[in-house]
Structures are given as C-alpha cells and as structure tokens.
Structure 1
Amino acid sequence: MVLTDSTPSIDYRLPTDVVPKHYNLTVHTDLGNATFDGVVRTDLHIVRGTSKIVFNTLDLELGEITLQLQGHEDVLHESKREFDRVAARGIITFPKTLPAGTNARLTITFEGKLTSSLSGYYRCVGDADGKNVYSLTQFQPTAARKAFPCWDEPALKATFDITMLSRFGSVNLSNMPAQSEKVCTTYSHEEDSWLARKIATLEDPSLWKVTQFQTTPPISTYLVAYANGPFKFLESSYKSPLSGKVRPLRIYATADYIWQGQFALNVVQKVMPLYEEVFDVEYPLPKLDILASSDFDLGGMENWGLIIGRTSCFLDDPNENNLRNKQYVASMASHEVAHMWFGDITTMEWWDNLYLNEGFATLVNIRMSGIPTHALLTVAAFYQVGENFILDRLFPEWRLDAHFLGSNFYPARWLDAKLSSHPIEVECPDANKIIQVINLSSTTYRTARQPPVSSLPQFLATQHYVGQDKFLKGVSAYLKKHKYKNTVTSDLWEGIQSVTNKGIPEMMDNWVKKMGYPIISVTEKEGGVHVRQERFLETGPADAAHNETIWTVPLSILTMNEDESFEIHSDELLTEREKFIPLDMSRLFKLNSGTTGFYVVQYSPERLITLGKQAVSSDSPFSLQDRIGLVRDAFALASSGHSSVSSALGLVNSMCATWQADEYLVWDAVADSLSRIASTWWEHPEVLGPLNAFRMSLFGPIAKRLGFEPLASDTTDDQQLRVKAIEQAAEAGDPWAVGEMAARFTHFLDTGDSSEIPSELAGMIYRIVSSLSLSTRT
C-alpha cells in the first residue's frame, strides 16, 4: 500500500474511464463498540480501456479488493494500491488492461469508526443518560466516501441495493422500504458470503438481524441514507392524485421525542399530493420517511425517501401552540419534500449548479436554502410558486409569500449588495472546496441552507413575466425531460422557454453569471418617467469598475386608469442602461408591483411620501408585498447613502402615523429598519433619543392594545404583532412595556412561577430586563 499527500491534479473530477451502474452495499453496525464494517460490490462499465480504477474513499480502512470482468470466472487482484488523502481517492491498479465496452464488478471490504463527526456514517447519543444511541448518515456534499468506497459525484448516479446487519430490537432505515428482515440464525450462507462469514463471528447471532431494502432508482451518492437505532414512529399515508396509489408516510424519532412529530407528518401528508398536481410528476418511491435526530449538521437533508433533520426542525410540542415554531417546521418539512422532485429525481450536474436543487425546493420553504449569492433571485421565484400553490393552500392565514420577503428575500438582498458577493454559478474546484462554496456566508447556506439573493427574485419576476401557469408548465417539462438525470442551468431555461416561447436564457444570463443587482432610479418628466439602472451597493453609488452589468429587468408597473381601476404592465422590460416610459403622471403608478423583482426602486422624497399615503388608503390597489417593498427599499437606500434617512422616516410617518391595520409583516419591516438605525447610533443620544420617541409613538399604542396575554380571538397577525410591538416599545424605553416586563420577571424571581411570562415573550423579557438591570448597575 502506498500513501501519498500529493495535491490533487488540475482535473479535480474523477476520471470517467470507469463509471458505476449499481452498488450492492452491506453494512454491519455495532453501536456498542462505535464501529461499522461492510462490503460494497459495485457494477462498473468500462468506458475506455484502463488498468486503473479511481474512486473516492476517506477515513476508511479498506480490506480485500477484487475485480471480476463480466463473463469471466477469473478474479483479478490488485497489483498496486494508492491513496491520495487530499483528493480522498483510492487508485487501484490491476495487472492487465480492462477492455473498453465491458462490464465488471469491483468488490471492496471496509471498516470505519462511528464518531460524532456529523458527517459520513456517524453516531449520535440522543439524551443525557446515554440510552438513546443510534447511527445515521449525512453525505452531502462529499461524505458518502467516509461510509463506503464510491464514486462520490452527483452526476455519477447508480442504483443501490442496501443490506444492514444490526442488533435485534433496533430499527433499520434506508431510502427504500425493507423487503425482508431476518434474525441472523435463519440467514442462508448462499445469500451473501461476506455477510454469512460476518454472522459466524458474532457471539450470539440470535441477537442480531439482517434487513434487506428494495433497489433504489438511479441516485447520486450524496442522497443515499441509512440509520440504525431505537426509533419509534408515527404513521400516515397519502393518495396520489395522478395514479391513485396510496403511499405510507412515517416520521421517526427516539421515544422521548416522537410524540412531537405529528404536525410535521400532517404537513407532509397534505403537501405530497399538491406537489404531484403542480409538477404533474408522481413521486416515484414506494414510501417517504422523516428521521428527526438530536445531532445533525444541517437543518434537514433531502435523502431520497428518508429525509433526515434536526429535532428542532421537524418536531413541534402540541401543548405550546407556538406559531413561529409551527411555521418553521412546516417550511422545513415542505422544503425537504420539494427536494424529492428537485434534487432527487433531477439532480444538478455538479455543485456549481446547486441552486437548481435548492431554488426549486424553496418553492415551499419559508427560509431559503443552499444557493450562492446570486442564486437567491432564481430561488425566489420558485419559493413564491411554492408558497402560492403548496403551503399557502394549507395555511393561507400565514401569508407566506409576503412572509418570505422579510425572512429571506431582504436579508439575502442585503448580502448581495456587498462587494464580496458572487455569481450564482461559482466554480467548485476540488472536493475540499465544495464545502467552502456551499457555506459562503448566507450566500449559499444561510440558516441551515440559504441561497444568495440575486437570482432568486429574478426568477420570481420571470414567473410573473411569463405567467404563472406557463411558468409551472415549463418547470414540469424540465422535470419530465430530465427525470433520473443530471442538469445544468441551460436545461432549466430551455424547459421554461419551450412553453413560453420567450427568451428566458437571454433574460436570465446576467442574473446568473454576474454579481449583484440593480437600483432603478425613477425621474419624473412630462408625459412619463425616465428610468435608469446601476448596480446597487451597500457602500453607495457604484463606480465604473463595479457598474458594467446591464440586467434585463421586468419592471412590472402598476398604473391607475381613469375609471379608478388598476392594471399591471408585467411585460415592460428594461434591457438597456436607461429609457423613457410614457405614463399619465396625474395618476398613481408604482414600479415592481408586488415586489416580484430583485432590485431597489428609488423615487423622489415627495413621490415616496405620496406612495406611502396611497399604500395605506382604504381603496389602495397596493398589495401587502407592495407596502413591505416600499419600506424596505426606502431604508436600503438610506443606509447605503443613496438617499437620506429623513426620506425613509418620512415614508414611515406617512404610512403608519394614522394607520390602524394590524399587518404584522409591514410593521415587522418598519421595526427591523428602525432597529438597524438604533443599533448604528446607540452611542449618540442626540440621535437615539428622538428615534426612540418615534418608535414609542408607533409601537407603544399597539403594544397596549394587544397586551401581554394571548387571547382566543387573536388572529395570526395579532399573535406575531404582539411580540414585535412589545419588543420595539420596550427597547425604545416605553414605560408601560418596560414596567410590565419588570413586574412579570420579578414575580418569577420571587416565586419561581413563570406562568405570567408567555412562552413567545420569554426570551425577549429575559433579554431586555437583564440588559436594563445591567445598565442600571453601571
């Protein structure tokens, strides 16, 4: 055996002389000794004649390695064995050349340790007393090689037969349903010689069992999954609207957690048929499970047929009735279910196209996932489609399409306004760099996995530009054409273009390949407006070196007609640096209707105040998203120096001074923007004092009206606005809010009774009262 520490070659991808077609994987799990071992038999196709086979392996002790050519009885043994630690590769040389066009079976035995690394095949201790010990996998992006020797690249799909040897009484899970499960004393030697030999070494075979799972469809290695442990489950099912088949659905966890799994299971049961209807593609596997784990690196992982994620992401205590947690669990569950189509049925060719997976999955998610900064634009559209057609159908009162703006769209846009942003398609060099690309700020994996911004919302704009029905048909065409295959960016654009007959590739090109997004300045002239695009940067107007990109921008202009009706001109595009657009300037108009486009709009201060008043009038044509967009854009422009802070405050005053509506998401936009200013000027009382007085004037009356105690009559807006208004009022120094917090906290300290502190306010009360106490002492 020769070990090298050489750096990987320039060609960081595995050679394609030999490609896998099928894996027969057997894994023995010993939780007591924290070890695993097994054998993998990989059916290969020899594309080009070679005497070397190169595959991925890392942190494994490899045993016997043999190769048998199809149609030959002779078994070949290696003549040389090398490992490249940096590239995580095994290079096996055989004594003769393997002919091109032939097939062969490579058999490798291996051993490994069940560590707490949270990647590969690892061990989890689920509770403090150490009783709930189990093992599970996390392979994305390149950790399957730590569990078994394989071709660990997404494009090298293959089918899998998985067999697990484990303790009797424990539960084995994998991507597919179990087709058989036998106590080891009844296992036949003819079925698997390696397994039979392994069973013979067990001290008491009657205490062990063998579980064999059905064969998977073609699947990328990072989506393979298995687990073993003392799991319990809740069960449900759904009926396919396309075929009428009934598929079982389960959520697994240890006994101390499983009782909190019903809500996520209910969400999955309801979204599965909706996804089939929207995409016109039936879920292809016979079952779908979720495993909630105490120790998991990501929020959730879309392993095909066996979603795995954190307990905090998939469990909900039914006794707490915590709206925020329910929204998070629902978004997480529906996001990972979306991956059963986008990412699992159709998978990106390589990690530079990760957004093709995460963007589509965001179809249903409240939080974004896994895309490089510019990708957010692409994902935004898919996210919105999902909210409108999936979760929004289940929870219309949550207004998830608007919720997305505050929770993901604008935080991601804030990131993409930085000079450190990067395009959606980022070259992923060697495997060691993939994690770095995936974790580039929130750009790629923000909050469990959040995509960067630009490309997301642009897709949202694209969806409105081409029409939602055609957009969805284009997505469906993309899925059907590339079922069980791998894709690149152009495949998606072509799918949408095939249905819409519009130049989608040209429209999306700069959004995907260039950094950043534009600011659209609006200058009013006689008979219309002059619009101009520049790159928007948080540091102020872009200089020439950072202002070369010309985006194709769907302006989506809302205008009022003479009869007081309104219409949206969704086909108005800005394809050059600037242009004049004829408009009736005596009537209402607004760019970026519905806040569907990923850009900032700058009006004059006077127009901005007028729009603010129009936005909250009783007969306003503006949507909730329009109101949110006006506030967020105004403060983005103020913080970057494109306009004054007084202009943004003037907008808020014109909107909120007399506005009685309890639209939480608009108030949340105001609160977040004012808090940012307060945190910037906290050392300047001459600024902070008047600002806090303004905050108290806005949020103090709302806090008093809603009070500290939740009511049975509360709407979803009431529940969320109560928390936000009390927080803003107290942070600004409102005497009533601070006094209530202090009294409730004191009662808790004196009596140990926390019943006067509502659970949704607990964290805030502890934080604010503690900070006030510290400031008083100093």
Structure 2
Amino acid sequence: MASDRDVLPSWVKPSHYDIFIHDIEFGGNFTYQGTLAIKTNIDKNDGFNDLVLNALQLKVHSAELKTGKDSNEAKNITYEEKRHRVTLDFGEKIEYSGEATLTLKFEGTINNVMAGFYRSKYKPKGEVPASVAKDDEFHYMFSTQFESCDARRAFPCFDEPNLKATFSVSLEVPKDLTALSNMPEKEIKPSKREGFHTVVFEPTPVMSTYLLAWAVGDFEYVEAFTKREYNGNNLPVRVYTTRGLKEQGRFALENCHKIVDYFSETFQVDYPLPKVDLLAVHEFSHGAMENWGLITYRTTAVLFDPKTSADSYRNRVAYVVAHELAHQWFGNLVTMDWWSELWLNEGFATWVGWFAVDHLYPDWNVWGQFVTESVQTAFQLDSLRTSHPIEVPVRDGPEVDQIFDHISYLKGSSVIRMLSSHLGEKVFLQGVANYLKKHQYGNATTNDLWNALSKASGQDVNSFMDNWVRKIGFPVLTVAEEPGQIGLKQQRFLLAGDAKPEEDETVWWIPLGLQTGDSMTAASTHATTALTEKETTIRDVNDSYYQVNKNLTGFYRTNYPPARLVKLGEARENLSVEDKIGIIGDAYANAVAGYGSTAGLLALVKRFQDEQEYLVWAQIINNIGTVRSVFSGAQDVSDGLKKFELELLSLATEAVGWEFKEGESYLVGQLRAQLTLTAGLLGHKGTVEEALRRFDLYMSGEDKSAINPSLRRTVFSVAIKERGESAVEAIQNEFLTTSSIDGKEICLRALGHVHTPELAEKILKFIFSDKVAMQDKHTGIVVLANNAKARPEVWKFIRTNWDTTIYPTLSGNLVTLERFLRMGLSKFADDKVADEIAAFFKDKDNRGYDQGLKVIDDTIRSHAKYKNRDEGVVREWLKANGYVQ
C-alpha cells in the first residue's frame, strides 16, 4: 500500500456487515439508532489494544469484540473528527489472530446536506400516509449517498474501496411506507414499536462500502422486465418515485431494461444482481449514484414527461441512466483499488454511457454531442496549471471529493474514446470484457486494464497511454506548411499560453488522424499514424487538402496556419459535425492562449451563417459567448461583439422558427431552443417580440399551451431581460408553483439573465432562501455568474454572506460548496478580482475546496491576460468589419 495514503490499519479487514437501523425519528431531530455486527479477520501477531474505524458525526454507545470464546468491551471510545475516525480502546492487550465479530450500538442523524443518510424535502401529490415525515411546508423522504466517503456518516465502518465485504441490511419502518436497499426483500419481521415492522433484505455480493444504499419513503413504482434471462429469469426493473410521479419514470424504465441487456452482451458478463431499482430523490448533490441494485437519481436525471418536459431532458435521462448502469460493471463489479484511480470508474462509465445511448438513439449524433460537451469541457479544466493527472495521488477520503471533476469523468472518457478509435472498437471491447471477467468482485488498477487491452490488441498499450493518464495536461499540435509536406510540433497547451520548459517535458503519443488528398471527398488516411516525438516532418501531404485529428478522436488541440484555417472553413460543407466542432473549438482556445488570434476565430465562424447543425451552433455560441464575457468591460468591444453574433445567427434563427413540426428530429428541436434563446438575449427583434407575446399568454393564464416545453427557457429568459422586476416576480412564482419536473431548474436558469445589480441581489437572496433546495442553489449561481451585469453581485454576495449564510449552508457537503464557488467566481477576467478572492480566502480553512480556489485563480488570470493582450486586436477587427464605429 502506498505510504502517502492515510488509511486504516491493514491488519484488520471486514468480511460481512449486519446493519439494523431502528428507532428512526420521523421529525424533530431526525435521529436514529443503529445496531451493527461486523465479521472481521484479524492478523496481528503482536496483539492490539484498540481498533480504529471510520465514523463521522456518529455517537458510538458501546462496542464489543468477540474473539473466539473471549469477549472484550471497549473501555474508552474516542473520535478524531478531522480524520473521520473512531478508536475503540479495549483497555488491555488482546492476543488474537483469526475471525472475530465486532458489535456496536450507535446513534446518528438523518441530515439535510445530501451526504450519508439524509432527508429530502418535497411537496407531495395526492393522499399521503400519516407516517410520512413532514413539517409545516414540506414532506420528507429518506435515502443515502455514500460515495465517496460518506458511509461513515451513516454507520461506523471500514470505509475504503478495497476493503470489500458483504452486507445484510434491516430497516425498522412504518408499515405504510416502503423500504428499499441494494437487494430484494428477504422477510418482514414484527416490531415492538406500534405501527412499525422490520424489513430484512437479502445479503449483497462482495462490494465496497460506498455502494451500499437504503431508502425509506412513500414510494410507488413502474416496472418492466429484461428481455434476456439471468439465471433462468427475466430481471425485474423498476423506477421508484414519491407518490404521484411514477408515470414520469417510464422513459427511464424503457431505456433501463434495454441497456442492462446490451451491457450484459457487450461486456460478456451478465448483470449479477436479481433486480435493478432506480429511485428518484428530491434533493441530490450529484446527477445520480450507482449503488449496486438501487441506483439513486436527481429527479431531472430520471423522470421525464413528454407533455411537460423540455426535450433536452430526454437526452439527459437516457444518458444518466446509461452511465449509472455502466457502473454496475465499472466500479461495482470491478472497483478501483484506491481513489487515485477513480477514472477507472468514471471515465469508463462516461464513455460507455454514451456508447449505449448511441446504440439506442443513432439519430441523436451522440459522438458529436460528446465532442462539443465532454471533450471541450475537459479541455477547459485541463488547460490550467492547476489541473491534475487523470490518475492523481489521493491521501485520504476528504481529499477525494475534489477529483470528481471534469478530468476524471470527461478527460478520462475522452482518452478512452481516443484509445478505442486507435485499437478498433471490437478489439477494445474484447479487452475490456477480459478485464472485467478477470477482476470481477475484486479491485483493479490502471495497469490491470492496460494489460488486458495489450493482450487483446497485441500492442503495448501502457507504452503509449501511460503519459495520458499519469501526466498533467495535454498537447497542442502546431502545424507548419511546406510544399508537399508539413512540420508538426507538440507542446503542452496552457490557457495562459506560457508553459515553462519544466512544464513542457512530456512527450505524448499523439494519434494524428491525418487525412490528405486532392479534395476532402478524395482524401484518405495518411500512412503516418502517430507522432511519438516533440517534432517531426511528414512528407507526401497534398497541399490542396489535409486535415489533422479527423473527427477529433485525439485529445489535443491543433494550431493550423491562418491560411489553412480559412481553407478548412471554406470547405466546411464536407466536414463532419465533429470536425467542425474541433476546428472552431481549437481556433477559440488558440486565440485565448495566444497561439492564434481572436480575429482569426471571428473570421472563421463568420463563414458558418448558413450552418444547420445544432451541435456546431452550440460550439459557436459557447465560444463567442466566452469571448464576449471576457471583453464585457470594454463597452465598444462588447457592443461590437454582440452586433457580430446577432448578425451571425439571425438567418439560422429565422429559418428554424418557433413551431415544432410533426416528425421533426430531436436535433432540430434542440437547434430551435438554442438559437431562439441566444438571439432573444442578444435582442433579435422578432424573437423578442414573439417571446414576450407567448410569455404574456402563458402568465395571464389565457393560453398555457403558448410555450412549448422546450422553449420555456427561451421565453422566460427573454422576459427577465426585457421586463425586469415584473418578470422576476412572475418567474419566482412559477418556480414555487410549477408541477413540471424540470420546471424549477428552467426557472432558475432564466432568472440569471437579470440586467441590474438590484435584481441580481434580489435573486441571490431568493436562491439562498428555504424556498430553493440545496441542489438547485448552484444552478442559479451558474447563470448569474455567466451574466456580466450580475457577476460582481455574486462576488459581493459571497463576501458579505460567507460567515452567516454561505459557509453554514453549504459546508456540510464540501462537494456542493466547491462546485458553488467554482461556478460562481471563475468567469471574471480581472487580476484585481483574483487578488480580492485570494485575499478573502487566505486565512480560512479551505480544506475540501482548496483545489477549486486554485482553478478559480488560474482561470481568472488566464482570461485577464487574454483580455489585456487581444482587446485592441479585437477592436480593430470589429472596426474593419463594420461592427464598431
């Protein structure tokens, strides 16, 4: 075991937990009692005086260790809060090795911070059993969230991923409520508590503590069965919700049973549990959690109503369901040995999730979506000095939450896509299947995966993939042209554009994906497949056409000569969606870093006025929006960029219109939503007028069908920007009364488009009121932080309310706090603001969100450098092209 890890003593290991949760207080302080028996194996020849387990915010009443015929009571029980530990001191030396049973009685609290065993508030639909926990305004359901290290908040345990065991769970609950856990119900036992009984569940397979789960609430479900048989049976698949919502689980249900069968065939390992349950949880810190057999989801990630939900949520539900089901193999069946290799779980589940969605919905152009969302987002974080390798050292549990980020998920999955493309999908999946079969019910390392893939492919995968996983950052490939040949040079890409020699020592294996020929349609793959040195020259390249990194399968930026970028823009009708996204994204990133210019980016995207693909427009709007944000402090440049963007997308906006046509594709609907939102916020006259007309019809109650569900965000956002306070009040009321499962999220995203500091302050107070659930607070912050008019108010609000509101509200779950700060503060482009933020947090205990503060500082200073360098250049280009007088 690595010496730099702060882990539990290795001489005691658990084999089975018997957990009984009882005397739950359904209201008041929400306390509960627990009785726990842990079978362990002790291997310590020189004896021991105490045992150490993980525990956080628990009170252990008693502990007894049975070793053979002897029994030892803990004489002293002490806690180490910062290390999340409890020490059971038996008062004398125990000389014993072998099997032993540790029995504990303890007490905990069902908290409200979305970690451990916690409660979620909601407003019920229909009749509610009297036993449901409630207060004056809300009812509550109870569920668990144990990843990464929060099982220790619910019960004392050996809470490390490689300390696997089996689990038997029993829950004492009211007879009129439903209890769920990872495994099916085994039996129901009577309880001494009137109106209660104890639900006993079957033992689980061997698994890590973070995958254990249980839930209690007023649940109902919809059910389907897999088409394949597992041990002679078609598996039951259910989506559970609180009362009144189950029908919105049908879309997830239909996807679920198909994906279970698809993954069982693809991975050549049958889904190993006797059931698959999906549970919608009303307050959730993440999108979902892959608990084996009882997968929990944020409501908007599992529920969908074709009549009232925006169509984008259909895509989200399909993907998140697939991602969590992929974890049933990647993470649950085979678990990373330690949190440093989290990417083995998350990178694979991300790639495989999209792989499954592509199988079910080939018309969605999933890999185009992957390139514009996953790859480009991964580039953003990994272009900072404060990034980290995919496989990153993790000292202890509290550190791990900060690597549940775009590197582990999105860079990890991008690198997997790159490797799969290189090896070939069939060979790659066979290697993965071999890996899963060899390590099932155990723990594995990155090297174990590389070995399986090397054996399947006949290539030394570790030799060319090691740097991608264990080194920080990624390269930019600079292209220099000479007649009949090109020169290629790789260097580390930094957003600040100033990599020092000691930061640029990595030599990446770069799959070139080089296409060349007389024309794009006649192009073929060049014989040179990869760059394995800092720089080289490639011959036999046709000057009339060539392209590097076809379909953006390689995780790197390409910096073309300006004239070549123009030629690729001219030939765009023959480029794939992924190619267009890659070329635009690279031109933007190179402009920010100083390898290219903003003028070159603007000239390139200006050619895309007739573009018809949603995913390409999404990339353009995202990149130009960031450029506008950076230069928002210079009024003439800001106005010129706004005029430029409005001209750029007006034709496409007018062409796509407002009406959804019968049989229209999903992507056309998404294009309409994207273009009308952006054009409306830019002030496109026709879009603004139509949005306000529909808003008035809807809000007056005259015509509630005036707004298509997929255009609510457009209409609400434009109304906020144009109408100000009256629209804010109307949409806050809509937030409080909406019955649509995605309605609250859409309202929050719209509220962020206010145009005055006073309204921004009002919305910030609303976001931090009890009316907005914990999970939704950062959603509102994101849009406000993207809004240059509101951004200073976000920082002012954080400074002013840190001690009284923000830290007390969010610090119970540091994942939420870190995400909130990163989203709320990283959009500035001003060194003075970076200095203010650094000074404000200098003397605070930043453990648990310190990495986020580094990312904020790096991002702000990189954009400030870009602003200072390019402002004059952008102004000149805008003047030359008639956008600035």
User: Partner amino acid for 1:16?
Assistant: S
Q: Residue 416 of structure 1 contacts residue 452 of structure 1 at CA under 8 Å; is this kept in 2?
A: no
1:226 corresponding residue in structure 2: 214
Q: TM-score under structure 1 normalisation? A: 0.86
- 1:601-640 superposed matches below 5 A: 601-616=558-573, 620=574, 622-640=575-593
Q: Does 1:137 align with 2:144?
A: yes
Q: Residue 695 of structure 1 contacts residue 728 of structure 1 at CA under 8 Å; is this kept in 2?
A: no
Note the C-alpha offset of 1:511.
1.4
Larger % of helix: which? 2
Q: TM-score under structure 2 normalisation? A: 0.76
CA distance in 1 between partners of 2:453 and 2:150 (Å): 33
Alignment equivalent of 1:511, drawn from 468, 482, 492 = 468
2:624 corresponding residue in structure 1: 674
- 1:678-689 superposed matches below 5 A: 678-684=628-634, 686-689=636-639
Unaligned runs of 5+ in 2: 125-133, 725-753, 758-885
Note the C-alpha offset of 1:356.
0.8
- 1:158-169 superposed matches below 5 A: 158-169=165-176
Q: Residue 17 of structure 2 contacts residue 166 of structure 2 at CA under 8 Å; is this kept in 1?
A: yes
Question: Does the C-alpha gap of structure 1 residues 58 and 717 become closer, same or farther in structure 2, counting only changes over 3 Å?
Answer: closer
Q: Residue 44 of structure 1 contacts residue 106 of structure 1 at CA under 8 Å; is this kept in 2?
A: yes
CA distance in 2 between partners of 1:238 and 1:541 (Å): 54
Q: Does 1:27 align with 2:21?
A: yes
Note the C-alpha offset of 1:526.
2.6
User: Partner amino acid for 1:682?
Assistant: S
The Cα offsets for residues 205-264 of structure 1, whole Å up to 9 and x where unpaired, read as xx2212211111111001101111211111111033676631111111110322211111
Note the C-alpha offset of 1:583.
2.4
Alignment equivalent of 1:149, drawn from 147, 156, 161 = 156
Q: Does 1:174 align with 2:181?
A: yes
Q: Secondary structure at the match of 2:26?
A: coil
Q: Residue 346 of structure 1 contacts residue 479 of structure 1 at CA under 8 Å; is this kept in 2?
A: yes
Note the C-alpha offset of 1:697.
3.4
Q: Secondary structure at the match of 1:549?
A: coil
2:114 corresponding residue in structure 1: 118
Unaligned runs of 5+ in 1: 1-8, 185-198, 366-385, 445-450
Q: Does 1:259 align with 2:255?
A: no
User: Partner amino acid for 1:418?
Assistant: L
Q: Residue 222 of structure 2 contacts residue 250 of structure 2 at CA under 8 Å; is this kept in 1?
A: yes
User: Partner amino acid for 1:702?
Assistant: A
Question: Does the C-alpha gap of structure 1 residues 564 and 709 become closer, same or farther in structure 2, counting only changes over 3 Å?
Answer: closer
Question: Does the C-alpha gap of structure 1 residues 742 and 80 become closer, same or farther in structure 2, counting only changes over 3 Å?
Answer: closer
The farther-off stretch of 606-615 and 267-276 is 606-615
Q: Secondary structure at the match of 1:347?
A: strand
The Cα offsets for residues 319-367 of structure 1, whole Å up to 9 and x where unpaired, read as 22521011111111111111100010011111111111101110244xx
Q: Secondary structure at the match of 1:585?
A: coil
CA distance in 1 between partners of 2:348 and 2:62 (Å): 42
CA distance in 2 between partners of 1:687 and 1:138 (Å): 47
1:344 corresponding residue in structure 2: 332
CA distance in 2 between partners of 1:11 and 1:651 (Å): 49
1:88 corresponding residue in structure 2: 84
2:400 corresponding residue in structure 1: 434
CA distance in 1 between partners of 2:7 and 2:657 (Å): 60
1:327 corresponding residue in structure 2: 315
Question: Does the C-alpha gap of structure 1 residues 242 and 586 become closer, same or farther in structure 2, counting only changes over 3 Å?
Answer: farther
Q: Secondary structure at the match of 2:83?
A: coil
- 1:552-591 superposed matches below 5 A: 552-560=509-517, 565-569=522-526, 572-591=529-548
Note the C-alpha offset of 1:674.
2.1
1:399 corresponding residue in structure 2: 365
CA distance in 2 between partners of 1:746 and 1:126 (Å): 29
Number of aligned pairs? 711
Question: Does the C-alpha gap of structure 1 residues 680 and 260 become closer, same or farther in structure 2, counting only changes over 3 Å?
Answer: same
Q: Residue 403 of structure 1 contacts residue 665 of structure 1 at CA under 8 Å; is this kept in 2?
A: yes
Q: Secondary structure at the match of 1:233?
A: strand
The Cα offsets for residues 509-541 of structure 1, whole Å up to 9 and x where unpaired, read as 211222111110111113311100011111124
Q: Secondary structure at the match of 2:332?
A: coil
Q: Secondary structure at the match of 1:648?
A: helix
CA distance in 2 between partners of 1:741 and 1:562 (Å): 44
Q: Residue 242 of structure 1 contacts residue 276 of structure 1 at CA under 8 Å; is this kept in 2?
A: no
Q: Residue 677 of structure 2 contacts residue 713 of structure 2 at CA under 8 Å; is this kept in 1?
A: no
2:854 corresponding residue in structure 1: none
Q: Does 1:422 align with 2:416?
A: no
CA distance in 1 between partners of 2:144 and 2:663 (Å): 45
1:653 corresponding residue in structure 2: 606
CA distance in 2 between partners of 1:461 and 1:689 (Å): 40
Q: Secondary structure at the match of 1:251?
A: strand
Question: Does the C-alpha gap of structure 1 residues 764 and 562 become closer, same or farther in structure 2, counting only changes over 3 Å?
Answer: closer
Note the C-alpha offset of 1:717.
2.4
CA distance in 2 between partners of 1:574 and 1:607 (Å): 20
Q: Secondary structure at the match of 1:86?
A: helix
Q: Secondary structure at the match of 2:347?
A: helix
Note the C-alpha offset of 1:669.
1.4
Question: Does the C-alpha gap of structure 1 residues 592 and 21 become closer, same or farther in structure 2, counting only changes over 3 Å?
Answer: same
1:373 corresponding residue in structure 2: none
CA distance in 1 between partners of 2:79 and 2:672 (Å): 60
Question: Does the C-alpha gap of structure 1 residues 96 and 498 become closer, same or farther in structure 2, counting only changes over 3 Å?
Answer: farther
Q: Give the superposed CA RMSD.
A: 2.5
User: Partner amino acid for 1:631?
Assistant: I
Q: Does 1:307 align with 2:295?
A: yes
Note the C-alpha offset of 1:146.
1.8
User: Partner amino acid for 2:423?
Assistant: V
Q: Does 1:596 align with 2:553?
A: yes
Q: Residue 119 of structure 2 contacts residue 143 of structure 2 at CA under 8 Å; is this kept in 1?
A: yes
Question: Does the C-alpha gap of structure 1 residues 305 and 67 become closer, same or farther in structure 2, counting only changes over 3 Å?
Answer: same
CA distance in 2 between partners of 1:244 and 1:595 (Å): 44
The farther-off stretch of 581-590 and 473-482 is 581-590
Alignment equivalent of 1:725, drawn from 662, 665, 675 = 675
Alignment equivalent of 2:685, drawn from 735, 751, 754 = 735
CA distance in 2 between partners of 1:611 and 1:40 (Å): 65
2:33 corresponding residue in structure 1: 37
CA distance in 1 between partners of 2:81 and 2:582 (Å): 50
Percent sequence identity over matched residues?
A: 33
User: Partner amino acid for 1:681?
Assistant: F
Question: Does the C-alpha gap of structure 1 residues 359 and 563 become closer, same or farther in structure 2, counting only changes over 3 Å?
Answer: closer
CA distance in 2 between partners of 1:765 and 1:679 (Å): 22
Question: Does the C-alpha gap of structure 1 residues 485 and 563 become closer, same or farther in structure 2, counting only changes over 3 Å?
Answer: closer
Q: Residue 62 of structure 2 contacts residue 74 of structure 2 at CA under 8 Å; is this kept in 1?
A: no
Q: Residue 31 of structure 1 contacts residue 133 of structure 1 at CA under 8 Å; is this kept in 2?
A: no
User: Partner amino acid for 1:707?
Assistant: G
Q: Residue 29 of structure 1 contacts residue 164 of structure 1 at CA under 8 Å; is this kept in 2?
A: no
CA distance in 2 between partners of 1:468 and 1:481 (Å): 20
1:770 corresponding residue in structure 2: 720
Q: Secondary structure at the match of 1:75?
A: strand
The Cα offsets for residues 175-210 of structure 1, whole Å up to 9 and x where unpaired, read as 1111112333xxxxxxxxxxxxxx3xx3x3xx2212
Q: Secondary structure at the match of 1:551?
A: coil
Q: Does 1:273 align with 2:226?
A: no
Question: Does the C-alpha gap of structure 1 residues 243 and 697 become closer, same or farther in structure 2, counting only changes over 3 Å?
Answer: farther
The Cα offsets for residues 399-423 of structure 1, whole Å up to 9 and x where unpaired, read as 1111112222112211111121111
Q: Does 1:14 align with 2:8?
A: yes
CA distance in 2 between partners of 1:243 and 1:567 (Å): 48
Question: Does the C-alpha gap of structure 1 residues 629 and 66 become closer, same or farther in structure 2, counting only changes over 3 Å?
Answer: same
Q: Secondary structure at the match of 1:48?
A: coil
Alignment equivalent of 2:238, drawn from 229, 250, 265 = 250
The Cα offsets for residues 638-673 of structure 1, whole Å up to 9 and x where unpaired, read as 22221122222232234x24x4x5211112212222
Q: Residue 554 of structure 1 contacts residue 571 of structure 1 at CA under 8 Å; is this kept in 2?
A: no
1:54 corresponding residue in structure 2: 52
User: Partner amino acid for 2:693?
Assistant: A
CA distance in 2 between partners of 1:85 and 1:776 (Å): 45
The Cα offsets for residues 424-460 of structure 1, whole Å up to 9 and x where unpaired, read as 2222223332334446xx445xxxxxx353x442322
1:4 corresponding residue in structure 2: none
CA distance in 2 between partners of 1:549 and 1:23 (Å): 46
CA distance in 2 between partners of 1:683 and 1:692 (Å): 13
Q: Residue 681 of structure 2 contacts residue 717 of structure 2 at CA under 8 Å; is this kept in 1?
A: no
CA distance in 1 between partners of 2:662 and 2:5 (Å): 63
2:839 corresponding residue in structure 1: none
